Amino acid sequence: MTSSSFASWLRAQPSLAGAAPGLDTASLPEEPHVLFEQWLRGAAAAGVAEPHVATLSTVDEDGLPDARALILKDAGPRGWAVAGPRSSAKAEQLAAHPVAALSFWWQPIVRAVRLRGGMQSATAAEIAADFEARPESARAGRTPEDWMLWWLAPRHVEFWQGSPDRRHTRIMYARQGDTWHHEVRGGESPTAPGGAASRR
């Protein structure tokens, strides 16, 4: 590949410039939404701007990925909730292909979370409640009938913490039936040689 001045400039940009918090991989919660809430609240406490903003990726009619930033509405045992207009491209794509990925990047603390799975429509009551909870300025010019709320029920959730020495830590949750299993890869592990640990 021929190097360009832009490529050289990109390589010169700093990366992993933040400071990662301490991470205890020996006492991880059984379900990923618990760890996610801890990390999100920690990001907010550390001063990360708009830590609840995520990138939602969907698939269009040609099978090409599409992505946009939006605000997370909720997260818990049921999944992760996002919203948007029924008339939007993402709504059309989710109606045709009800699968998606959601990713968060909190640069100041060198942490990221990404998840993927099926998307389900929320109930009419949940959609109406979310619309009414929006600021008045956000409701202006839009009718409740054009609003939509979805729940992403992930099958896989990855928590990533960067390290300047590139010994990044990955906490991988995978759903098997009604049970979550997790594995720690990379970084420093207190339970296994080579920096990898696996536990239920």
Per-residue pLDDT tens, the chain, 200 aa: give them.
557 899 999 999 999 888 999 999 999 999 999 999 999 999 999 999 999 999 999 999 999 999 999 999 999 999 999 999 999 999 999 999 999 999 999 999 999 999 999 999 999 999 999 999 988 877 776 798 899 999 999 999 999 999 988 889 999 999 999 999 999 999 764 433 333 333 33
The CATH architecture annotation of domain 23-164 reads Roll (2.30)
pLDDT, position 166? 85
Domain boundaries, the chain: 23-164
Helix H, strand E, coil C: the string for the chain is CCCCHHHHHHHHCCCCCCCCCCCCHHHCCCCHHHHHHHHHHHHHHCCCCCCCEEEEEEECCCCCEEEEEEECCEEECCEEEEEEECCCHHHHHHHHCCEEEEEEEEHHHCEEEEEEEEEEECCHHHHHHHHHHCCHHHHCCCCHHHEEEEEEEEEEEEEEECCCCCCCEEEEEEEECCEEEEEEEECCCCCCCCCCEEEC
Question: 175 with 155: CB under 8 angstroms?
Answer: yes
pLDDT, position 153? 97
pLDDT, position 41? 98
Q: pTM for this one? A: 0.88
pLDDT, position 196? 39
Chain Cα centroid distance, residue 185: 19
Question: 114 with 164: CB under 8 angstroms?
Answer: no
Q: Which of 97, 102, 148 is nearest to 126 (CA)?
A: 148
pLDDT, position 188? 61
